[in-house]
Amino acid sequence: MPADMRARLGQADLPNLVLSASGCAGAGRELAQFIDVARVGALISKSIMVEPHTGNPAPRLAETPSGLLNSVGLQGPGVDAFLQRDLPWLLSRGARAMVSIAGGTVDEFAELASRLSDAAGVTAIEVNISCPNVEDRGQVFACDPGAAAAVIEAVRARARYDIPVFAKLSADVTDIVAIARACVTAGADGLSMINTMLGMAIDGDTMRPVLASVTGGLSGPAIRPVAVRCVWQVREALPDVPIIGMGGVRTGKDALELILAGAGMVAVGTAIFHDPSACARILRELDDELAQRGIDRLTEVIGLAHEPRTAAGRRLARNPT
């Protein structure tokens, strides 16, 4: 019998814990030609902003060993078009929408939270704080506990009470636990981690940067160990806070690794580009991984790697009598 893979996101019951990561499935339509979007745990939209944006100039993608560098930027139609066109489409397909929001000021984030709260059908909000703060010399919100907290506090204050707010963290910081703590204290209901990591590639032939924007975000298997470390550290410090783990998940075993580190849900990003049905496949593979270990409920393994082991590597009984 398949294991119980259901997950809870605020008030919503998700059929399973495998989500599509922000920016890797647009607003869902791109995926729909390959899979039934209602079968994905939830779709996390590309980060939406108040106004439409064209994103960064090309070239904006570069392949690297075990990873992808992108400088797509926050290309998107703006919140009005998202609410009029994309959200109704997702709902008509029976999908669950976790809407990612991005802004350059605290007020923009707050406005987005309030606009989304007026619409029916938003399952959760993911706050992409890896954005430059235009009011503070372009410092990225996610890299400063005070700035991150200011955004989350404003979003939580304006988001409808029944819509969970997840802060999406960056691993490009010295102390991710400090940022996680600041976000949770400011009202975040959960944490998503990790976003892409800042990288760069130089073309040996042209002897110039590959990306027009010079730097870009690194994703894919190259960053998985960083994601595992971040989820582990935050789970250790804040064991009760729900975590969506992401970063380089390609297989069910990769997903299991993040779950063992403490993630209750897993999002798949870059893997979708070469396998649009990756979410469904990874869910199947995860089910096999659990079956091989005789586990029938996913909740049994969330954060399990934190439990002490005997010298022989056996799990200790949780409540020895």
Ligand X SMILES: Cc1cc2nc3c(=O)[nH]c(=O)nc-3n(C[C@H](O)[C@H](O)[C@H](O)COP(=O)(O)O)c2cc1C
Residue carrying the six token digits 């990790």: 194
How far out from the chain centre does Cα 320 lie?
36
> What is the Cα–Cα distance from 294 to 291, expressed in whole angstroms?
5
What is the total count of residues that contact ligand X (CB under 6 A)? Answer: 26
Q: Which is nearer to ligand X, 42 or 320 (CB)?
A: 42
The question of whether 24 is a catalytic residue gets the answer no
For residue 40, state whether it binds ligand X (rule: CB under 6 A).
no
Q: How far is the CB of 27 from ligand X (least distance, A)?
A: 11
Q: Which is nearer to ligand X, 31 or 74 (CB)?
A: 74
Whole-number Å distance between alpha carbons of 115 and 92? 20
Which 167-186 residues touch ligand X, going by CB under 6 A? 168
Q: What DSSP line would sit under 159-212, residue for residue?
A: S-TTS-EEEEP-S-SS-HHHHHHHHHHTT-SEEEE---EEEE-EETTTTEESST
Give min distance, CB of 195 to ligand X, in A.
5
Identify the three-state secondary structure at position 240: coil
Is 195 a binding residue for ligand X by CB under 6 A? The answer is yes
Largest CA-CA distance found in the chain, in angstroms, rounded:
68
16, 70, 71, 123: which one binds ligand X (CB under 6 A): 70
Smallest gap from Cβ 129 to ligand X, in A, equals 9
| Residue nearest ligand X, Cβ-based | 23
In angstroms, rounded to a whole number, what is the distance separating the alpha carbons of residues 110 and 101? 10
CB of 298 to ligand X, least distance (A): 19
CA 243 – CA 257 distance, rounded (Å): 13
Closer residue to ligand X (CB): 133 or 219: 219
Residues that bind ligand X (CB under 6 A): 21-24, 46-47, 68, 70, 72, 74, 100, 128, 168, 195-196, 219-220, 223, 246-249, 268-271
What residues are annotated to the active site?
131
